Amino acid sequence: MTYTHKLLIIFIITILTITNVAAGTPAAGAPPAAGTPSTANHYSSVASYISSILPSSPSGWTILSFAQTPGGVISPDEQRENAQISCEETMSLTHGHLRSLADYIVIGSSTLLSDNPRLLPYHIDNGLVPVVLTGRVDEVKDWLNGPTCRMGRKRDCIVTGGTAWGVKKSLDGLKGGGGAKVIVEGGPGTLQRWIDEECWDVVVVTVGGKWWGGEGGRVRMKKGVEGKFFKIGKDVVWVAKNEGGKGGGGGRGLL
């Protein structure tokens, strides 16, 4: 390779770099803006499919949404702060698009206290109200009022106990004229409660590409459920509709 060829290659690389910066290439590690063309194209097919199978009845709907490892673990022991199972493209689907559709987002107190999540849709303020399902109501309320809580809209947060169906009916009542649109994100114990009570319409499971070490929480279906797979970024997303009825099931993890 001649000296002139080397200079030409360096020049082309420099121009490409400048073009990418000018085009607004996001910084490494920054979450993609949900709904922008570059990210929406990644999940547009799965988003359309989810919309097509959600109930259109006035009673609202419930989506179970969570990520798991290829081994079926939702909260791996090895997982540390700033580590995540999902890639950024699927996070834009679940934490951006799906959250933007819902009225309420439900988590358990263990997830609240261990993960300290913000529970807001990416780049969108749609009035999403957090709901913490717990038997430790006073403890959770004290923590929400503390200085370390990062939750968005924590002053609107509903802290409650009871069954999954009881919570759903209470949220329906708060909506007044229509049913509540609810997304349940975890942890494993909370998800299992909604599964056991058949209190869900659609489940969206992100299967990440890394098999984390150690053990961790899992959920199990009570019956066989037929779903559909989508490839998004480095992950696979599995979507299924609750067709009703009850049956046996089990196995290692949901998938």
CATH number at residue 121: 3.40.430.10
Rounded to an integer, what distance in angstroms lies between the CA atom of residue 196 and that of residue 219?
10
Distance, in Å, from the CA atom of 98 to the CA atom of 33, rounded to the nearest integer, reads 13
Helix (H, G, I), strand (E, B) or coil at 109: helix
Exposure string (b/e) for 45-83, b if CB count within 10 Å is 16 or more?
A: ebbebbeeebeeeeebbbbbbbbbbebbbbbbeebeeee
Q: Is 110 a residue whose pLDDT tops 60?
A: yes
pTM, two decimals, is: 0.77
Q: Which residue, among 96, 147, 145, has the nearest Cα to 125 in the 3D structure?
A: 96
Q: Quick check: is 193 in a domain?
A: yes
Q: Does 76 fall in a domain? A: yes
pLDDT on residue 186: 85
Q: Give the range among 116-125, 170-179, 210-219 with minimum mean pLDDT.
A: 116-125
Look at residue 17 and tell me whether its pLDDT is greater than 90. Answer: no
Q: Is residue 75 part of a domain?
A: yes
For range 180-199, the mean pLDDT: 94
pLDDT the model gives residue 202: 97
Per-residue pLDDT for 187 more than 50?
A: yes
Q: Does residue 18 form part of some domain?
A: no
Least confident of 24-38, 68-82, 122-136: 24-38
Number of domains in the chain: 1
- Range of the structural domain that residue 129 is part of: 31-241
Percent of the chain with pLDDT over 90: 42
Q: Within a domain: residue 19?
A: no
Contacts from 140-144 at CB under 8 Å and sequence distance 24+?
Answer: 140/109, 140/112, 140/113, 143/112, 143/113
pLDDT at position 35 is 43
Taking Cα atoms as reference points, which of 90, 94, 119 lies closest to residue 107?
A: 119
Sequence-distant (≥ 6) Cβ neighbours of residue 132 within 8 angstroms: 106, 107, 108, 109, 112, 140, 144, 157, 158, 159, 160
> Kindly report the CA angle at 87 between 85 and 92, in degrees rounded to 5?
115
8 A C-beta contact, residue 94 and residue 67: yes
User: Crossing angle for the helix pair 188-196 and 164-175, nearest 10 degrees?
Assistant: 90
Mean pLDDT of the chain: 78
The predicted structure's pLDDT at residue 124:
62
- Of the pLDDT bands very low, low, confident and very high (cuts 50, 70, 90), residue 251 is very low
Rounded Cα distance, 96 and 99, in Å = 6
In this structure, is residue 72 part of a structural domain? Answer: yes
Over residues 92-99, the mean pLDDT reads 91
* Confidence bin at 176 (pLDDT 50/70/90): confident
Q: For strand 158-160 and strand 129-133, is the pairing parallel, antiparallel, or unpaired?
A: parallel
Where are the extended beta strands (E) located within the chain?
61-68, 75-76, 104-108, 129-133, 158-160, 181-186, 202-207, 216-217, 227-232, 235-241
pLDDT category, 167, cuts 50, 70, 90? Answer: very high
In the three-class reduction of DSSP (H, G, I as helix; E, B as strand; rest coil), residue 30 is classed as: coil
Evaluate whether residue 254 is within a structural domain: no
Confidence (pLDDT) at 103 = 93
Is 26 part of any domain? Answer: no
